[in-house]
Chains A and B, each alone.
Chain A
Amino acid sequence: MEKTSNSSVFLLTVNGQIEGANFPDYDNLYCKYCYVYGHDWAPTTVSTVEKHCITQITSKSSQSHKLIWNFPLETTFKSTNPSGWPQLVVSVYGPDVFGNDVVRGYGATHIPFTPGQHIRTIPMFVPEPTWRLQKFTGWLLGRRPEYTDPKVVAHGEGREVTRVRSQGFVTVSFHIMTKDMKRMGYDTGPTNSSTVQFATSSQSRDAQ
């Protein structure tokens, strides 16, 4: 590892929130998330990014079957190379019928690279058991198949061996700011000084 203190970097600031999820059949879910990024990327704040972070448990309201977390995200990356652009990997967990904590979905999305506000709806999926019997025993014992590492979903490699089933959606809103991208020759959108977008605060669309 070399110190990059004197070399030029560009910065990517991610603000936003994991707004909520739509899992029609499940309730009392919580969400783990982490970032996956390439070799040329590093978070400027180690604490929140290096580890898996975890949200609170949310329940559905009586009227709405949407799960709302509104869990804030905030981090800043520095990088020297757009390759390996950070991805947000989200995995949702919750209790099953017997109260075992099982995984309800994995999903990943690239962090948008255009400055401004973005809303991403991440389709969530879980790996399928290999056999029917395993499906049954997994259900019975509360041991569903899980990825060895949630970060697997951010990579393409090796994914061909898994079969997955879609589960629901997680909505994430991002407010993206970049610094020095253009100076380094990466034009990611209409961001000259006059047209910088100031992301308006997004309100959860289904807060009620």
Chain B
Amino acid sequence: MAASSDIREKLRMKRRALQDTLVKNKNEDDIQALVPSAKFNVDNQPTAMKEAEGSDEDPGESLRRTLRAQREKRKTKLLLEQPFVQDEDVGEVSPTQYNSPNEGPSSRVDDSVVSTRPPTGSQRGVSVKSEQPSSSLHLDTFVTRHLQEKLRAARSKGESLQQQETSKDSSEPVSRLQRLKDRDTITRFDREADPVSSGRHDDPLTLRSRVKFQEQARRVEKDFPTTEEAYNFFTFNYEPDQPSKPESKSKMRQKQRDGVEEDDRDENGQEEAEVEEEDEAEEDNQDQNEFQSEEAPLVRNEDNLFVIDHLPQDFVEVRKAEYVGFKKRVQRDCELLFTPSFRAVPTSVKLPENTMPRFLEDEGLYVGQRPAVSLTNKNISENRILKMAEGSKWFGDDGKILALPDPIKESSTRPPLFHMDEELDPALQTVYRKAMKSQYANLYIAGATDPEGDYQLDVDVSGLIFSHHPLFSREHVLASRLAQLYDQYLSRQQNNLTGHLTEKLNGLRKALRNMMRIHGEQGSSEALQHRISEYSLEVRNTRQLRDLEQEKDRTLLRSIIKVWKEIKSLREFQKYTNTPFKLFLRRENVDRALDEWEYEGEILKEVLELEAESEEQYQKKLAEYNKQLEDWKLWRKKQKAKQKKKKKKSQTQDDTEEEQEEEEEQDQTESEDQFEEDPVKPEVPERPDIDSLERWVREKASRIRRKPGEAILVPELCTSGGVTASDLCPRAEVARREDVSRRSLFIKILYNYKEVSRTDSCSLSTDFRVHFGQIFNLKVLNCPQSINLQVFEEIGSSYSLLAQVFVPVPDPSVVTGRAPIEEIEFSSNQHVMFDHEGVGSDVPLSFESDGSNKLTLLTSGKLSCCVSWGIGEEGVPLAPPLSQHPGGTHRGLGHLDAVSYIGASGLYDMKKIGEWAVQSRLDPNDPKNTSIMHLLKVASSGEVTAPDYFRLEHLQEEFNFVSDEEMESSKRFRLLRLRNQEAPEFRNYKFVPLLEREVSDKVFQDYEKRLKDGETIDTRQHLNPHRAVVAKYLQQIRESVINRFILTKHHYQLSDLVIEEEIPSIGILGINLFKLAESKRPLKPQRIERKKVTAQNLSDGDIKLLINVIRAHNIPIRKPQSSKPGQSSQSAVQGSDWYLSQVQVRPFVEVSFQRTVLQTTTADGPNPSWNEELQLPFNAPNGDYSTGSLQSVKDEVFINIFDEVLYETGPDDKSRATSIHTQIEKHWLGSVKIPFSTIYSQSKIDGAFKVNTPAVLLGYSREHGNTSVYDQWRSTQGGTFVRLFITVEPQLVPGESVREKIKEAEFNSQEDERLLQASEKFEKHAAGGYPDRPCITTVIDLSGKTIFITRYIRPLNPPQEFLDAFPNNPQEATSLVARYVSLIPSLPDQVSFSATCDLLSTCDQFLTLLAGDEQEHAVLLCNYFLFLGKKAWLIIGTAIPEGPTAYVLTHEQSGYFIWNPSSGQFYEKGDTFCPLQTVGCLVNSDNVWFNIQENPSPLHTNFDITKVKMWKPFFSRSFSHPGLSSVQPEELAYRQTDKAAAAELQDRVEKILKEKIMEWRPRHPTRWNRYCTTTLKQFLPKLEQSRGQDVAEGHRVELQNLLGDYRISGFPLHLPFSEVGPIIEAVHSTGVHNIHSSNVEFALAVYIQPYPNNVPSVWVYLASLVRT
């Protein structure tokens, strides 16, 4: 209702009112202005008010009633606007009702002012509405309270006004009059409303108070406008009751509070007392009110100003948060809520007055069961209903709530679901089924472009004959049997098998006779004899067949006659005929004599034959008997002889009788035994009895043949007989006939299981034949799958399916006109029974008088129909061509697949094969079919012989989805197969393309190349032909090992699959318990073992290599740059001074791994500390993170130390003053490389690594003054060290050794089983006690056999030239040998063999391969040392960074020395920088000792192996050395060095390196300083001779002399040589090529010193020169 226009309107009104009254007293203004505005507001919303009135109907009845009378009285006085005014007043005042109870008197006044301002609209309306329903009896008290308050306020105001009026000037009354007039003009309503309010209130006070009272009045009179009233209100013309207004006005002014009270009394009789009391109280408080009223004007003025100044504020209603006290709320809730009582309602209330409850049930009427409702609920709802208007209509006559009978059935019709939380009963579950493609839907006949269809199938349904029908009478049954027999007879007659066979028999006999004759004349020949026997066999078979046929003929004839007789007797018995059948028997008389002669002849022949047969049989038996008899006799003889012997024996031996007796007894028993064992004496076979034979033949003949002379009986069946008319038949028969006539039949034709047509319904004739004679032409679109004729029987309007007949789909060659009508039998197992003569179906029936010999007949019959393909207009058959049957079934059409037709098992069933052959019309002339035709011929000719072979997997072909050739030729299949075979190139090949053409040929290139390379050796890639051979050989070994490894990889153990807690031992349990007591945060925390991650779960980017570069020691420092050689010495003199003044070196570390390069910050000084962590990503080859793959990662981590050198380049002249240009160069100082495989297998590497520094570093020196004792000590060690911590994040589970598996697998051994067991035990014990100490007793040689390690140790001769070099200095020779060994390239086994499969080659193999791991180096070195006469052992231990490795220990006078075979360096036992960390065991040719000392580090190890407490020997007294022979050769033969080859290699390497360097500098010209190169070249041999000893100073000086004005930095690299790749890599890692200054020149020299057996020592001298 609060449209903004209304508000605006109100505002305007208000403003006008204000303007009107602006000159006058503002107090009054206020009052006056409010009312009109309010009225106007009302005027705008009459409809809303009406709604409010409508809802006013609710209030309590009592109130209404009390008011009604008053209203009646006052009606005439009512003005038009009255209701609106009242309503509006309520709306405006209602907020104050909420507020006032909680406010003080003074504020109440203010509030009332505020609230009576123009409202914000709808809020008011809402409050009105919400208030109205609450007006019940409670409201009245509430209202009263309000009234009192209002009254008080009004009174005070009125008094104040009066005071003011009196005090004001005389113009006041005038203005007031005017004002009243004004008001009249503005708001007529107000004035008209006044009488009403005055009529009720007689309010003498101010308008303000009147407003309040008006509200009260409205409250009471809310219900005024009933519909009737409203009608009157608009139609009647009330006279405005003018006189009453002045009256009321005057009353208002003159009358005092009494009037108010009176008015109240008038209206609310109930309230009177209270009001009176209140009034008294008011009077008491009058003084106070007066006091307040003095202040009031001020307040009001303010309010007025406020209204004027802040008009927009009028919309915002400012009031206090409404709080309703609890009690009050409860009270209000009570007003709003109705709580029906639980108590039963007396019946009298529920029923109309003065009616007694009436109980229908007592009156005998049916009353259904009422639904069960609890009593409380019933009471509650009754109470509730009673509260409603017209509540009583819900109650029935019996005082109960009307109710329908209980609709719930007593038992549930739905099966109970006892599942609750179980799964739903599967039967009730909704099941998802895939949409089925209709089997035939898409089987269109291909080529049928014409939708009309070119194919037509004609179905001719000609008729139906029942061989049995439920409505058959007994006679019918017999008749049909007779008919059947007669049919049979006819067909037999037609076939005339008997005659056939008789003739055949005669022919055979004749032939046999002929043969016998020939046989008799010519004597027996083997072939003839055989043929005769064959013939006689044939004769016998034929005769038997003929006899059978004759017997059948005879019995058939007999049964025909029998049935006919039965019919006749039945007809006689029932005195009527039902069937027209009549049987005539025609006699054909025969010539008796001839007949007899034939008969006898036949018998004679047969008897003769039989005799011959039996004779033959007898002979056979006799022969057998004779043979058996012979055997028996022989045996008998032997037996007798035995007995005799025994007897003799006994006789000679017997001394006493007893003995004899015993013997006799024994003998007896023996004989008895023998008797038991005796073969029974064969009986003589009986001679066949000829007479009995003849008798038997005659008997048979009489049974199966007609007697001689007897007439031939020819039965003839005709239907000429009459049927007795119905009226002559008994009632039952008549009923049957009627039933028959009621029946009719029709046939539905279903094509592909869909009904396409049906015949007319034809009634069943009395002879149970139905003739349809209808032809249906089916236009065919779908492939014919089945044609089905359904026979329906119709009785009246209902019909039932009698039988179904499936008709084969005709061959395309079968066309209409040529196809014969076929009779197809059908039957139904319906059970039918009648009470009339009909015999029914499936009902036992007997023709005997005693009811025996029951037979049960089923409805059956023959349907004659014909299905054929139609013929078009031009005589073209409308059949689909043969070939056009796509897929699917071939049933009845064209080629039949043998297997699908007869099924797999049928392949052995000759009959089925034959059937199939006939069905599929195999071409007998097709050479493909010869074998099967032959087979069939054999099968059909005689007995079926089972094949004497078994076809294995005869269906294999069926499962080959592609032929072998296709398999071979397809690239895709090849790819798939190769991947499956795990060929290295394709092992993890992803995404084999889907289509053949997408497989590129390139894929196979590598693979094919590898296959091809198997034979040829590519020498180009290898610099040395020998190396190529070696590489080839290595490759082959690698492959064989890999293959073996792959095999073992697929052999799983439980531990490979399942992580299982080990069974804890008591000790571990104890430790665990101890752990519980351990502090949670120990002061000295230990590294917690990280969780290991199995490699399979990883993917690219998951693995990171963490390298913590901690610090370095003893880094070479720069030498002062000077162009003159003299200065250097000078500088050395002034060392300390220079040291302080100049930057020594600014090293940083660069780590490169898999082409990722990271570097640390630059530090200062020779002993820098970086302490930086570098993270390098790791990518496995091919993204394959399996253990095996990770183990074969060949990548190495390069850790290079560089010196960062800043050079000031010559800046421009202009900017010299302001800027400096510096150029950064990095100079390589040294490197460490750690293979990833080491990190992987060790999982973390921590320690100080010796930096591989070049022998000479141009521009650098290690001596940097004697700054400290420590440094001096350090410098003697002569090495640079860098401390690193390297690990892989996350920690990977290192691939466990395959050794165990290999042991399990085919890796056999030549060692004694006992030794192997002992070694296993030894290793296990070692691992158990000291898990961190490696212990090896057995190793695997290159052929994969396990060999005891001591067999490898044997003194072997080093190359003679080393021995000759320093004949007098064994120490020199030793170091030469060690150097030689270190020059042999090292290749970790893990890398080469892709698994932690430790293979150890013998020394000669090692020297041939020229590659091996530390163990091989160590073995060779150890053997050399032994040869040199040293005491040497192999140390199996762990070292940095190799991990488990092998070193060599020698014992000299000066003590123990530890040799690193890979570097050729040796360490004293006490050397702290010895890379060897733990000593596991020592090995020599005699024994293996395991270190059982406390501290395994070589520093603290006592190497006295004789001490059993420190070294546990493998072979001890209990298990002595079995004398194992060495696997090493006696002597090593060395090939002499090939100097020419070395020189050639040298040139090639140099050329390659130069090219590479230029290649790495694509943007800068690379200049080679020839002069420097040649100088460097001269240095290199010297270096080689001095074996890299420090000759730096000398040649640097030399160089300096030569190249005075160059700043040189450079170094020689010394490398073992295997391939050129590592050399390139090493050169690249030094970063020399990265110098980009414009005037740089390079120098590169290569020198190769060959050693015996093609072991070259390679030197590369690299230098960069910058002209200063």
Contact = CB atoms under 8 A, between A and B. Distances in A.
Query: Are A and B genuine complex partners?
Result: yes
Given A7-B991, A184-B994, A161 B1052 contact: yes
A80 B998 CA distance: 11
Contact of B436 (A117, A149, A190): A190
B994 A7 contact: yes
A80 B993 CA distance: 6
Among A80, A114, A116, the one with the most B-chain Cβ atoms within 10 Å of its Cβ is: A80
Interface in B1058-1106: 1058-1061, 1063-1064, 1094, 1096-1097, 1099
Given A1-B990, A189-B434, A137 B1057 contact: no
Nearest to B1097: A149
B1478 to A, nearest CB: 30
Interface centre among B421, B429, B1064, B1183 (most CB of A within 10 A): B421
Given A9-B994, A39-B990, A81-B994, A63 B420 contact: yes
Contacts of A197: 434-435
A136 to B, nearest CB: 10
A114 B433 CA distance: 12
A145 interface: yes
Nearest to A119: B432
A201 interface: no
A158 B420 CA distance: 42
Nearest to A180: B994
A65 B422 CA distance: 8
B995 interface: yes
A25 interface: no
Nearest to B429: A205
> What's the interface size class on A, roughly?
35 or more
A147 B1058 contact: yes
B1346 to A, nearest CB: 24
Contact of B1060 (A52, A145, A159): A145
Contacts of B990: 1-2, 39-40, 42
Nearest to B1096: A149
Contacts of A81: 976, 992, 994
B1071 to A, nearest CB: 13
Given A8-B994, A42-B990, A42-B991, A148 B421 contact: no
B994 A1 contact: no
Contacts of B1060: 127, 129-130, 134, 138, 145-146
Greatest chain B CB density within 10 A among A119, A129, A148, A162 is at A148
A158 B988 CA distance: 20
Nearest to A50: B1099
A1 B1050 CA distance: 24
B1057 A162 contact: yes
Interface in A70-84: 80-81, 83
A119 B994 CA distance: 29
Contact of A39 (B429, B988, B1064, B1096): B988
Contacts of B436: 190
Given A161-B1054, A205-B424, A138 B1061 contact: yes
B661 to A, nearest CB: 71
B1056 interface: yes
Interface in A109-150: 114, 116-119, 127, 129-131, 133-134, 137-138, 141, 143, 145-149
Interface string B958-997: 0000000000000000001001000000001111111100
B1052 A39 contact: no
A157 B434 contact: no
From A2, A10, A119, A157, name the one whose CB has the most chain B CB atoms within 10 angstroms: A2
A22 B990 CA distance: 38
Contacts of A52: 1097
Most B CB contacts (10 A, CB to CB) among A118, A127, A131 go to A127
Nearest to B419: A206
Nearest to B437: A190
A195 B1053 CA distance: 49
B1019 interface: no
A151 interface: yes
A110 B623 CA distance: 74
B1452 interface: no
B1063 A148 contact: no
A157 B1057 CA distance: 10
A138 B1058 CA distance: 13
A201 to B, nearest CB: 12
A145 B1054 CA distance: 11
A162 B1063 contact: no
Contacts of A152: 1057
Chain B: interface size category:
35 or more
A1 B1183 contact: yes
B977 to A, nearest CB: 12
A64 interface: yes
Interface in B1018-1075: 1050, 1052-1054, 1056-1061, 1063-1064
A4 interface: yes
Interface in B424-464: 424, 429, 432, 434-437
A119 B437 CA distance: 22
Kindly name the residue among B991, B1050, B1060, B1094 whose own CB sees the greatest number of chain A CB atoms within 10 A. B991
B1378 to A, nearest CB: 45
Interface string A144-185: 011111011000011111100000000000000000000010
B435 A195 contact: yes
B1313 interface: no
A104 interface: no
Contacts of A138: 1060-1061
A5 to B, nearest CB: 10
B1057 A195 contact: no
B673 interface: no
Contact of B1096 (A10, A127, A151, A157): A151
A206 B421 contact: yes
A27 B836 CA distance: 75
Contacts of A206: 421, 423
Contacts of A145: 1058-1061
B1057 A161 contact: yes
A34 to B, nearest CB: 9
Nearest to A115: B434
Contacts of B1099: 50
Given A7-B995, A116-B432, A149-B1097, A158 B423 contact: no
A1 B1100 CA distance: 13
A8 B1195 CA distance: 35
A130 B1059 CA distance: 11
B1182 interface: yes
Contacts of B424: 205
A40 B992 contact: yes
Given A65-B421, A147-B1059, A195-B435, A80 B992 contact: yes
B1652 to A, nearest CB: 46
A53 to B, nearest CB: 13
B992 to A, nearest CB: 5
Interface string A76-101: 00001101000000000000000000
A40 B1059 contact: no
15 contacts: A7-B991, A7-B994, A7-B998, A39-B979, A42-B990, A80-B994, A130-B1054, A146-B1058, A146-B1060, A151-B1096, A158-B1056, A160-B1052, A161-B1054, A192-B437, A206-B423
Interface of A: 1-2, 4, 7-10, 39-40, 42, 50, 52, 63-66, 80-81, 83, 114, 116-119, 127, 129-131, 133-134, 137-138, 141, 143, 145-149, 151-152, 157-162, 184, 189-190, 192, 195, 197, 205-206
Given A9-B991, A152-B1057, A158-B1056, 6 more contacts: A1-B991, A39-B990, A64-B421, A146-B1060, A149-B1097, A162-B1054
The 7 residue pairs across chains A and B that have the minimum distance between CB atoms: A158-B1052, A64-B421, A80-B994, A145-B1060, A143-B1061, A190-B437, A7-B998
Interface of B: 420-421, 423-424, 429, 432, 434-437, 976, 979, 988-995, 998, 1050, 1052-1054, 1056-1061, 1063-1064, 1094, 1096-1097, 1099, 1182-1183
